[in-house]
Structure 1
Amino acid sequence: MSTRTRISNAERFGRCLGRRWRAYVRRERRVSGWLIAQGVPTPAAAVLIWGVKLAVLAVLLYTAFWLALLLVFGVAAAWVARNTNWNEPQPEWRSGNLGFGLYHPDGSRIDPHDPNDEM
Structure 2
Amino acid sequence: MNTKTHISTAERFGCWLGRGWRGYVRQERQLLGWLVAQGVPGGVASALLWIAKLALLGVLLYAAFWLALLIVVAGVVVWMQQDNVAEEPDFLGRKAEERDHRESLFYHPMCFNDDPDPRFEDD
Asked whether the two chains share a fold, i.e. TM above 0.5, the reply is yes
Provide the residue aligned with 2:44 in structure 1: 44
Higher strand share: 1
Provide the residue aligned with 1:81 in structure 2: 81
> C-alpha separation between the residues in 2 aligned to 1:38 and 1:73?
49
Provide the residue aligned with 1:64 in structure 2: 64
Q: Deviation at 1:90?
A: 7.7
> C-alpha separation between the residues in 2 aligned to 1:82 and 1:61?
31
Where does the alignment leave 5 or more consecutive residues of structure 1 unmatched?
92-104, 106-119
Q: Which has the higher contact order (CA 8 A, sep 6+)?
A: 1
> C-alpha separation between the residues in 2 aligned to 1:86 and 1:74?
19
> C-alpha separation between the residues in 2 aligned to 1:88 and 1:40?
69
Task: Give the aligned residue type for 2:39.
Answer: G
Higher helix share: 2
Q: Deviation at 1:4?
A: 5.3
Provide the residue aligned with 1:26 in structure 2: 26
> C-alpha separation between the residues in 2 aligned to 1:54 and 1:9?
32
> C-alpha separation between the residues in 2 aligned to 1:5 and 1:23?
27
Provide the residue aligned with 1:8 in structure 2: 8
Instruction: Calculate the TM-score normalised by the size of structure 1.
Output: 0.69
> C-alpha separation between the residues in 2 aligned to 1:86 and 1:47?
59
> C-alpha separation between the residues in 1 aligned to 2:56 and 2:85?
46
Q: CA RMSD in A?
A: 1.9
> C-alpha separation between the residues in 2 aligned to 1:30 and 1:39?
15
Where does the alignment leave 5 or more consecutive residues of structure 2 unmatched?
94-123
The superposition leaves residues 29-87 of structure 1 with CA deviations (integer Å, 9 ceiling, x where unpaired) of: 00000000000001000100000000110111011001100110111011111111355
